[in-house]
């Protein structure tokens, strides 16, 4: 199973958190590094996460239309 580490950016939904994962890429021509962000919806069964917390999420079966990750 894949895992990703990121920062919690939203806790407004019930049993769902939004995790922003930042990665760095190199520009093919100019060789400069730049940051790419991706948001993932993850299942948080007991609503224990707080805003700004570093978390690890792991891949799971689809839980809803957008949730494919769970809190590890």
Count CB atoms within 10 A of the CB of residue 20: 13
pTM of the model: 0.90
pLDDT at site 19: 98
CATH of 3-71, one of 3.40.50.300, 2.170.16.10, 2.40.50.140, 2.70.98.40: 2.40.50.140
Would you say 63 and 25 are in contact if contact means Cβ atoms under 8 Å apart?
A: no
Q: Over the stretch 9-62, which tens digit does the pLDDT of each residue have?
A: 999 999 999 999 999 999 999 999 999 999 999 999 999 999 999 999 999 999
- Per-residue confidence band for 1, with pLDDT thresholds at 50, 70 and 90: confident
């Amino acid at each position: 199973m894949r895992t990703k580490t990121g920062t919690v950016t939203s806790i407004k939904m019930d049993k769902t958190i939004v995790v922003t994962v930042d990665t760095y890429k190199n520009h093919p021509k100019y060789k400069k590094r730049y940051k790419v962000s991706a948001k993932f919806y993850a299942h948080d069964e007991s609503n224990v996460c707080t805003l700004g917390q570093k978390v690890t999420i792991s891949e799971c079966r689809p839980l809803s239309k957008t949730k494919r990750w769970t809190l590890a």
